[in-house]
Amino acid sequence: MNSAATKTTTIRPDEILVLIADVRKSLNRIEALVRPAIGGDDQDAELDPKSPLNKSGKNLSPRGIEVAYRLYDADKTRHAVAAALDISFAAADHRRKTWLEAGGKQRQRQPLA
């Protein structure tokens, strides 16, 4: 019997946790795409914070910025916006400041391109 065929590969617990986190992130994205929007109007249902259209490389695209602003319009927290758009808390904080400078809820909404 070949000894190479009977060897088992040991995976470290930290590697397993990384894999679980990746799978969880993917499942959350799939759930967000499948689950119908609860509450809000039809315009908010098309936000899709995880859409690739919301990013230009690692930065938010103009559409992504508008999505962040609309999440703030809906009273979402900086933590919630960061998680929804998959951006850092610092980036979400910066977008909240620019949202407030633009007038907050009284600002003129831009079309989602």
Q: Where are the domains of the chain?
A: 40-106
Q: Cα–Cα distances in Å, from 11 out to 17, 20, 82? A: 10, 13, 31
What's the pTM value of the predicted model, to 2 decimals? 0.62
The residues with which 55 forms a beta bridge, in sequence order, are 60
- How many angstroms separate the CA atoms of 103 and 106, rounded? 5
Q: What is the pLDDT along the chain (113 residues), one digit of tens a residue?
A: 555 556 777 888 888 888 988 888 887 777 666 655 444 444 555 778 988 999 998 899 999 999 999 999 999 999 999 999 999 999 999 999 999 999 999 999 999 87
